Homo-oligomer: A and B are copies of this chain.
Amino acid sequence: MSEQQAVRRADAQRNIERILDAAAVRLSRDPDASVAAIAAEAGLGRVTVYGHFPTRGALVAAVVERAIAEGDAALEAVDLTGDPRAALVRLIEQSWLSLQQIGALSAAAASALPPERLLALHERPAARVERLLERGQRDGVFRADLPLPWLTGTLHRAIHGAAGEIDARRMTADDAPELIAATVLAALTPPGGTVPAVHDWRHP
């Protein structure tokens, strides 16, 4: 690769990042934001945007996929070792952060990604939770008297419930992780066991 080629490629990469950043900002505010609006936000011409993303759908899909990859990388980085209850609190806190970022794009995502792709995107986070709950069950700190899909569903439902409570203005996004963690940790406690205080495990 010549030096000129290398410079051109670096420029292109920088433009792609600028376009994706701008698209994330605009689409979070307005799921129907046009390519022109996204180009303006990026400080680039529409032709440049279309040079990298042939259609608006391709651009939206790329933004959503990037947000999901970032969210997944952040979740993958969570330390899931040690006490499974403390690990679950950390996982819930990061899941909430990642979901906030992806959630803002979800209205745009729903139309940009095929349903089977959206479904597949739930699999990695779901499998991660399942592995942690299984470890907690083996350690005896999570209940094993109810089916695992029901227990993972409890976390899923708490997260979605919190999103609904925030939409209804009965809860703030800042309060959500603690409410979710407190509820799910209690729900996962084996009968006869003592419900832990979440505070002990937050921001240690």
Contact = CB atoms under 8 A, between A and B. Distances in A.
Interface of A: 143, 145-147, 149-150, 153-154, 157-158, 160-161, 165, 170-171, 179, 182-184, 186-198
A146 B179 CA distance: 7
A28 to B, nearest CB: 26
A36 to B, nearest CB: 38
6 contacts: A146-B179, A150-B170, A154-B187, A157-B157, A189-B189, A194-B195
Contacts of A145: 182
B187 A191 contact: no
A165 to B, nearest CB: 7
A165 B146 contact: no
B191 A186 contact: yes
Given A161-B153, A170-B149, A195 B193 contact: yes
Given A191-B197, A193-B194, A154 B183 contact: yes
A83 to B, nearest CB: 16
Contacts of A187: 154, 183-184, 186-187
A77 B147 CA distance: 32
Given A154-B183, A154-B187, A184-B187, 15 more contacts: A147-B179, A149-B170, A150-B171, A153-B161, A157-B158, A157-B161, A186-B187, A186-B191, A187-B187, A191-B196, A192-B194, A192-B195, A192-B197, A194-B195, A195-B195
